[in-house]
Structure 1
Amino acid sequence: MMSRKELAGFLRSRRESLSPEAVGLAGGSRRRTPGLRREEVAQLSGVSVTWYTWLEQARDITVSRQVLESLSRALRLTPAERSHLFALAEAPLPAEPARRMPVNPTLRALVETLDPNPAHVINQSWDLLAYNRAYADLVGGLADLPDEERNSIWLLFTRPGMRTLLVDWQREARAILGQFRAAAGKNPDDPRTTALIDALLAASPAFASMWSAHPIQAFTPATKHFNHPHVGRITLNYTKLVVAEDVTQHLVVFLPATGDDAQGLERLARLDRPVSIQG
């Protein structure tokens, strides 16, 4: 009942804040209430006046997605307001094409500030959108890669050095691929993800074998064990955070599990040559 009252109040507030001229109607000077009349919203959205009135009276009536879309257009709602409308009506929001947004400068600066702790930002295809020096030194050889190969899943399955860098590569690969497949399933028509999967199927028998098993796994913070060729064993705890302004982006951060691991990251930071573990 509370959500119905919220929905009624939200619709009324948006109706009253929208001028007739903004939707192509004559204003006039004899209006007793601000904004649009209920019958005008009903007309613009293709519903009956009675039915729309019931909505603003918080009646317990069913609202279809099609009607919500019509109301959203009639009331000139912003994307955020449209999402709020669907939430108040307890209706699933229709899927939208994924947006390709750049990493915002503040987030990029945060990634750099986290050094010497490895950190990076990925999108829904797990492309590396931003990363700090510590992550580049941990993984090695990122600077010379073309954009389409600067991708966490591509590196995991096509770079031989990853099999020795990760102490238990098989377990890690299955877990990460399960998370990637769960993410890919939310946007099955995304062209970048589709192209990446096709390229991996052609390039990596290990990927093809694991992919055919349809692994699915939810993300949970975990501990990863690395055997770095220059600084030895490092154990890192990692977590992933959603970027609020673009939920297809995630910030991934690795933190040392112990003081010895923190010293290992410091040794990695002091290396005086570019790190390469491609082979």
Structure 2
Amino acid sequence: MSKSKELGLFLKKKRATLSPDQFGFESNKRRRVEGLKREEVADLAGVSIDWYVRIEQGQDVNPSIDVLNSLSRVLQLNNEEKRYLFNLSDKKVPVEVTNTITISDTLQKFLDNQNPNIAYVTDSKFTIIGWNKVALKVYGNYKEMNEKERNSIWRAFNDNYIKELLDNWEGHSKLRVEQLRANYSYYENDNKINEIINELNTKNSLFNKWWNNGSIMGIPEGQKLLHHPIVGNLYLSYISFKSTEIEGLNITIQMPVDDNTKNKLQQLIQD
């Protein structure tokens, strides 16, 4: 199969996976196609219907990078699918220069669906960038914190709430420092995190000791005990996994190990 034919088939299959309701189009029995219609995709992408029909038919239309970006957005392609789309068009995905990571609607829905399990997302610098409701109730209101305050390593050494919340503050903080070292390649040229590292190295002897001891650790699973000021002890198991979409992104889920803890977490999100 030629790349043009494969491109047309790929676009056809992707639009069939999208719900018309997502885009404000009526979904009823008279609709004869699964997902979006060709004219709906064309309209949303800002291209002519004739052009879009030609590309789905496998004709050699040579779409521009701007059009491919637009189709990627409308069809909600992930990074791998976007690279595939560009490859079929004999083009390279442009490098996007940005320091801001956006939590997608799909990822946010995943986090919200974890309630009453605690769920949050950290970037490669261990800054919290996404969360669900119970995470706010347990760890504090990230919505009101600035980027520095949401950094797990800075907060571990500067926030008394976290120091009192964690049953094993020293073990937690040592692990976080060693994990930060393990991620150094992601942020070595990032001024913000290097400012935090320099500040902690200067002001905190424990951070300085752990940062310079050369240990590198990563523990994706385990258990922890928290002492919450309202509901008391929370016994949790946790698992972390990396996103394949964004380099360095880490998703953590913390789950109650007993019914008593589960009831306490449910109580927090109902208040």
- Band of TM-score, shorter chain: 0.5 to 0.7
| Residue matched to 1:195 | 195
- How far the C-alpha of 1:148 sits from its partner, in A, is 2.3
TM value normalised by structure 2: 0.60
| Residue matched to 1:170 | 170
Structure 2: gaps spanning 5 or more residues:
4-88
On the 8 A contact 1:98/1:248 being kept in 2, the answer is: no
Counterpart secondary structure, 1:120: strand
| Residue matched to 1:101 | 101
On the 8 A contact 1:125/1:192 being kept in 2, the answer is: no
Counterpart secondary structure, 2:237: strand
Cα distance in 2 between the residues matched to 1:100 and 1:157: 25
Q: Which moved more, 1:98-107 or 1:257-266?
A: 98-107
- How far the C-alpha of 1:142 sits from its partner, in A, is 3.0
CA offsets per residue over residues 201-246 of structure 1, 9 Å max, x none? 3454432232232331023311111111111111111111222211
| Residue matched to 1:209 | 209
Counterpart secondary structure, 2:142: coil
| Residue matched to 2:34 | none
**What is the RMSD of the two structures over their aligned residues, measured on CA atoms?**
3.2
| Residue matched to 1:233 | 233
| Residue matched to 1:259 | 259
Cα distance in 2 between the residues matched to 1:128 and 1:110: 16
| Residue matched to 1:183 | 183
Structure 1: gaps spanning 5 or more residues:
1-12, 14-74, 81-96, 272-279
Cα distance in 2 between the residues matched to 1:187 and 1:147: 15
- How far the C-alpha of 1:120 sits from its partner, in A, is 0.9
| Residue matched to 1:78 | 92
Cα distance in 1 between the residues matched to 2:259 and 2:148: 36
Cα distance in 2 between the residues matched to 1:138 and 1:158: 17
CA offsets per residue over residues 237-275 of structure 1, 9 Å max, x none? 11112222112212111111122221121232234xxxx
On the 8 A contact 1:121/1:249 being kept in 2, the answer is: yes
CA offsets per residue over residues 71-114 of structure 1, 9 Å max, x none? xxxx966359xxxxxxxxxxxxxxxx996431112101221221
Cα distance in 1 between the residues matched to 2:165 and 2:135: 13
Kindly name which structure, 1 or 2, has the bigger radius of gyration based on alpha carbons. 1
- How far the C-alpha of 1:138 sits from its partner, in A, is 0.8
Cα distance in 1 between the residues matched to 2:192 and 2:239: 24
Cα distance in 1 between the residues matched to 2:197 and 2:223: 26
| One-letter identity of the residue aligned with 2:161 | G
| Residue matched to 2:143 | 143
Cα distance in 2 between the residues matched to 1:156 and 1:207: 10
- How far the C-alpha of 1:135 sits from its partner, in A, is 0.7
Cα distance in 2 between the residues matched to 1:170 and 1:269: 28
Q: Which moved more, 1:134-143 or 1:205-214?
A: 205-214
| Residue matched to 1:158 | 158
Counterpart secondary structure, 1:106: helix
On the 8 A contact 2:122/2:128 being kept in 1, the answer is: yes
* Structure 1 residues 149 and 202: alpha-carbon distance in aligned structure 2, compared to 1, 3 A threshold: farther
On the 8 A contact 2:220/2:241 being kept in 1, the answer is: no
Cα distance in 1 between the residues matched to 2:124 and 2:172: 19
Cα distance in 2 between the residues matched to 1:152 and 1:230: 22
On the 8 A contact 1:200/1:208 being kept in 2, the answer is: yes
TM value normalised by structure 1: 0.59
CA offsets per residue over residues 151-201 of structure 1, 9 Å max, x none? 111211111222221111111211222122111245423333322312333
On the 8 A contact 2:121/2:129 being kept in 1, the answer is: yes
On the 8 A contact 1:157/1:206 being kept in 2, the answer is: no
Cα distance in 2 between the residues matched to 1:98 and 1:212: 30
* Structure 1 residues 195 and 77: alpha-carbon distance in aligned structure 2, compared to 1, 3 A threshold: farther
Cα distance in 1 between the residues matched to 2:98 and 2:173: 26
* Structure 1 residues 209 and 98: alpha-carbon distance in aligned structure 2, compared to 1, 3 A threshold: farther
* Structure 1 residues 98 and 258: alpha-carbon distance in aligned structure 2, compared to 1, 3 A threshold: farther
| One-letter identity of the residue aligned with 1:173 | S
Counterpart secondary structure, 1:255: strand
